[in-house]
Amino acid sequence: MAGIGFELRRILRRESFVNLLGAYGLAGIISSGPWVLSVLGVMIIGVLSFALEANQGFVVQFLVSVTYLMAFSLILSGVFQHVFTRWVADRLYESKRNLILPNLMGVIWVSTAASFMLGVVAAIWFMPGTSYLYRLLMLANFVVLCNLWPVTIFLSSMKSYRRIVVVFALGYLVAIVASVQLRDFGIEGFLLGLLLGHSLLFFSFFYTIIRQYPGTTLIRFDFARRAQIFPTLIFTGLLFNAAVWADKLIFWFVPETSEPIIGLLRASIIYDIPIFLAYLS
């Protein structure tokens, strides 16, 4: 985890207020970038869409749909978040870098299978009255996000912090531009734009990981061996993310504090906006 720290420390050696802000800004983007920038990117898409007089109903449905995508992808990927981070740290300590990429492939394979199966169930049971294209795009976005979060585990160990920032900027720029350009296709256009941006982020970061941690085999599942992991970390990762979203879920599904938006997805205006602003702070 010290990789990016050495680079930031080098910036801080040039003592100035600008360098101090730059170092803390980079640290914030790298440590919380995927979540915070996702929130900002979606907010910008919504603001621009309203400014360009896109259908307000579609914009609201898009924002709520993305909120559910973020919530449940973070909860599901929490299964790997802590336990795989510890596993990678142990392998780095043992100088077994060649095992990291094959096991990341194993995590991606398991994450893809689990998110696809759960996503199909959700598309069938929780999205009645929506188009098949909407359900397909929700499923695709869910799978990509569930794979993006484990990949971002490696960001803090990479020394190429400028590349990380550039990739984040390009990924969300693509998402914003594509979503706005496809706004005439309704909520499906917004979701397609978001899918393009997050896919670019995933494959760009994955390519960077391949370069930094080359492996000798394609796929391994050493991270699932009982002797190499701490099972309690599986539950701490899962329950931590579930706890972060527990209060939102309560407000969403209590009729007195929420309203239906699309399918069975609900939103709580009195709670979602204050929480959104709180996260940005």
Q: What is the pLDDT of residues 151-209, one digit of tens each?
A: 987 776 666 666 777 888 888 899 999 998 998 899 999 999 999 999 999 999 899 89
Output phi, psi for 126, to 5 deg. Answer: -110, 5
Model confidence, pTM: 0.87
Output phi, psi for 232, to 5 deg. Answer: -60, -25
How does pLDDT run across 33-71, given as a tens digit for each residue? Answer: 566 677 777 778 878 877 776 778 888 899 899 989 999
> Domain for residue 20, yes or no?
no
Number of domains in the chain: 1
> Domain for residue 23, yes or no?
no
> Domain for residue 15, yes or no?
no
- Amino acid at site 223: F
For residue 166, what pLDDT is reported? 80
> Domain for residue 173, yes or no?
yes
> Domain for residue 151, yes or no?
yes
> Sorting pLDDT into bands at 50, 70 and 90, what band is 1?
very low
How does pLDDT run across 118-131, given as a tens digit for each residue? Answer: 999 999 999 999 99
Domain that holds residue 205: 33-280
> Domain for residue 190, yes or no?
yes
The answer to whether residues 214 and 101 touch, using CB atoms and an 8 Å cutoff, is yes
**Over pLDDT 90: what percentage of the chain?**
51
Alpha helices (H) along the chain: 3-13, 17-51, 56-93, 100-125, 132-151, 161-181, 187-212, 231-253, 269-280
Q: Closest Cα to residue 61, out of 178, 148, 189?
A: 189
> Domain for residue 18, yes or no?
no
Non-local (6+) Cβ contacts of 67 within 8 A are 267, 272
Q: What tokens were used for 256?
A: 């007195």
> Domain for residue 14, yes or no?
no
For residue 259, what pLDDT is reported? 93
